[in-house]
Amino acid sequence: MDLHAPREVDLHPLHDEGGTGRPILLLHGLMGSARTWHRHLPWLREFGHVYTFDAAGHGRPAPPELTTEAFVEDLVRHLDGGREAGRFDEPLTVVGHSMGGLHGWMLAATRPELVRALVVEDMAPDFRGRTAENWATMIAAWPQPFPSEAAMLDHFGPVAGRYFLDSFDRRPDGWYLHGAVETFRDISEEWGTRDFWEQWASVRVPSLLIEGEHTITPEGQMAKMAEIGPEATHVRIADAGHLVHDDQPERYRAAVEEFLTRVR
C-alpha cells in the first residue's frame, strides 16, 4: 500500500483501518492527516476496530466559518453517516492529537452519547493572547514543492518530516501542503481569542491526558484539566515534543495501552 497515494478525502474522510471490537477513532492534529497514525495502527487494532478521519480543510474543503464548532459539526456529520451505514453502533474511544484532542473533547461535550473514553495528546483549553501570524508567514515561505522524501526530512527533521510526509499531497513533481495556509492560520488564530474550559469541564468520560516534556501548551493547564475531569489521568512524557506519539512512540504506546486496557 502506498501511504502517500491520494485518498478520496472529499467523499470518504472517515477511513476504516481494520480490527475488531469496540470502535476507536483517531483524530489528527493541525496540518496532519488520517495517515499520520499509520505507524500506530497495528497495536491499536488489538484494542478495537480502528477508524481514522481527515479533518475538514485538510485535503478537502474547509467549513464556511473556521470555528472549532464548525469542524466538530463536520466530524459529527460523518460519524452519524457511519452509524447509519452500520459501520459502528456504539460509543467510540476517541484518541486525538493537538487539534484532534480538542475536537475529541468538544465531541464528548456536545454529543456525549458518541464517546465512551478519550485520549488528548498535547492540547490545552486556553491559548488566549497567542497569534499564528508569524508562524503562517513562515509556512508560506516553505520551498514547495519538496522534490523528495530526503528534502522533506532535511527541512523538517526526522519527526516532523515524517508527519508532513504522511500529510502533504504527493504530486508528480513532489510534495505540496494539503490545505491553504490561511485556513491553518485562522484555525490557530481562533484558539488565541477564546478558551474551552467550560466544554472540558462538561466531559464525563474516562480521559487520558498526554503531555510532552517540551510541550506547546501553556504551563500547568493539562495538569489542571486532570484535576477538573472526574475520571482524568495526566501523564507527562519525558524527552518528547509536541508530536509525542512519533517522538517517543514506545512511551506513548505504553500509556495508551494501559488506559485502553483499563477502560476496556
φ, ψ for residue 120, nearest 5 deg: -115, 120
Across 220-248, average pLDDT = 96
pLDDT one-digit tens code per residue, 1-60: 444 444 443 458 999 999 999 999 999 999 999 999 999 999 999 999 999 999 999 999
Q: Count Cβ atoms within 10 A of the Cβ of residue 52 and give its class: 0-12 exposed, 13-18 middle, 19 or more buried.
A: buried
CB-based contacts of 220, cutoff 8 Å, min separation 6: none
pLDDT of residue 71: 98
| pLDDT band with cut points at 50, 70 and 90 for residue 237 | very high
Distance from the first to the final alpha carbon of the chain: 31
| pLDDT band with cut points at 50, 70 and 90 for residue 132 | confident
pLDDT of residue 12: 80
Could you give all domains of the chain from N- to C-terminal order, each with its CATH number?
Answer: 14-130+196-263 (3.40.50.1820)
pLDDT of residue 2: 47
Q: Considering the chain, what is the average pLDDT of its residues?
A: 94
| pLDDT at position 156 over 60 | yes
pLDDT of residue 42: 98
φ, ψ for residue 137, nearest 5 deg: -60, -40
pLDDT of residue 256: 98
pLDDT one-digit tens code per residue, 186-223: 999 999 999 999 999 999 999 999 999 999 999 999 99
Give the rounded percent of residues in the chain with a pLDDT score beyond 90.
93
From residue 223, alpha-carbon distances to 208, 209, 226, 237 in Å are 11, 8, 5, 13
pLDDT of residue 264: 85
pLDDT of residue 67: 97
| pLDDT at position 118 over 90 | yes
Under a CB-based contact definition with an 8 Å cutoff, are residues 79 and 246 in contact? no
Across 64-77, average pLDDT = 97
| pLDDT band with cut points at 50, 70 and 90 for residue 77 | very high
pLDDT of residue 4: 45
